Amino acid sequence: MGPSASPNTTGPVTPGTNRPAPTEEPTMSQHAVLGAPPTAPGARRPRAGEQHFVLRDDMPVGHPLFNDTPNLHDPLIFVELIRRAGLHVGHRNFGVPAERPALFYRFALRLSDPAVWQDCAEGARLALEMRAEPTRTVAGVPRSLRLGGTLRLDGAEACTGSAELLFVTPTVARNHRATSRLAALARTPADDGPRAGLRPAAPSLVGRCTPDSVVVSQPVRQGATLTTTVLVDPSHPVFFTGATDSVPGLLLVEALRQSALLAVASDGAAPCPTALDRLSVHLRGHAELDLPLLCTARTEPGGIDGTGRRLTRILLTLRQAGRTTAQAEAVTAEAG
């Protein structure tokens, strides 16, 4: 599962550590406000135990990843926002002990209107309207949270999505990690398909502007399947902001997203950051830092959307040492 840090305060945390995040962290800045939403007429009644929140902040400016797109803003920021907000409310509002790490293992994202991401001004005001539902509650404390939300930029709906966080005791977390590591090292080198090299893909083909943001290699193709190598750089300032012994979840998600765009580009469709219409990811286990990690992508027709754009469906798998570490499905739309 994709590791997430557990805060030892009620504030946001730096990914991959137990330390509070610096106040300048662009995805939850010192100006961020997380509170209860106003009651709207006709709003759905919350389920038992469900709570609603609104996170208000500014979109990042000059961020090395989230602003490294041909447009001003990157929809992937939704993943970090809902993850961080979920960690925050899990400990502060649902009574999860601060020492329990969280595993971020599922998420889904769907763009509401690509034009919002293209046209919204730099530093736009964001509002993440989030609901959190505790699940698998023991002695009044949830073992996991099911999150859902809508992200608005300057009042316009930009995307919707969901995520699931699993909170585990420190002992369970240590044992799970040790078992996963030993199992990976004990496996003989497996045939995970054709091996791509380590030369990075062109930034323009994966929705990025600079080479530093590229996390997948140039692909190799075997039949209908495209394979890339995930490029893991422990010195990367966004993915590795603290000590970690496995590949961070955000890096896995970005590798899946880039592989999807690369697969569509290799089929002849022109990619752009807003070409990704939706993405769902299931992180199934830890990925080791020192073993080859491959991503396979297979495209198939996805029909036509309501505006006449051709859709492409991409099925993605991350594999390491013969084991699946993540699965995803993406849908892209032709750039208008």
> Could you report the per-residue pLDDT of 82-118, keeping only the tens digit for each?
999 999 999 999 999 999 988 899 999 999 988 888 8
Q: Which stretches of the chain drop beneath a pLDDT of 70? A: 1-48, 72, 188-195, 268-274, 335-336
CA nearest to 239, candidates 214, 208, 203: 214
Q: What is the pLDDT of residue 44?
A: 58
Do 152 and 252 fall into the same domain?
no
Q: Which two tokens stand for residue 18?
A: 């137990």
Do 156 and 197 fall into the same domain?
no
Do 19 and 130 fall into the same domain?
yes
What are the φ/ψ torsions at residue 232 (nearest 5 degrees)? -105, 115
Do 197 and 70 fall into the same domain?
no
Has residue 10 been placed in a domain? yes
Do 154 and 214 fall into the same domain?
no
Q: What is the pLDDT of residue 269?
A: 53
Output the domain CATH number for residue 286.
3.10.129.10
Q: What is the pLDDT of residue 9?
A: 28
Q: Which two tokens stand for residue 73?
A: 């803003």
Has residue 185 been placed in a domain? no
Q: What is the pLDDT of residue 21?
A: 34
Lookup result for tokens 């960690």: 87
Give me the amino acid identity at 293.
L
Do 226 and 321 fall into the same domain?
yes
Number of domains into which the chain is organized = 2
Identify whether the C-beta of residue 96 lies closer than 8 Å to the C-beta of residue 90: yes
Lookup result for tokens 């997948």: 216
Residue 174's H or E segment, with its range, is helix 170-186
Lookup result for tokens 């004990």: 186
Do 200 and 161 fall into the same domain?
no
DSSP one-letter code for 200:
B
Identify whether the C-beta of residue 81 lies closer than 8 Å to the C-beta of residue 159: no
Do 111 and 250 fall into the same domain?
no
Has residue 31 been placed in a domain? yes
For residue 24, what are the domain limits?
2-38+47-168
Do 272 and 135 fall into the same domain?
no
Q: Which residues pair with 166 in a beta bridge?
A: 103, 144
What are the φ/ψ torsions at residue 81 (nearest 5 degrees)? -60, -50
Do 146 and 10 fall into the same domain?
yes
Identify whether the C-beta of residue 172 lies closer than 8 Å to the C-beta of residue 127: no
- In our burial notation (b when 16+ CB lie closer than 10 A, e otherwise), range 124-146 reads bebbbbbbbbbeeeeeeebbbbb
Give me the amino acid identity at 52.
H
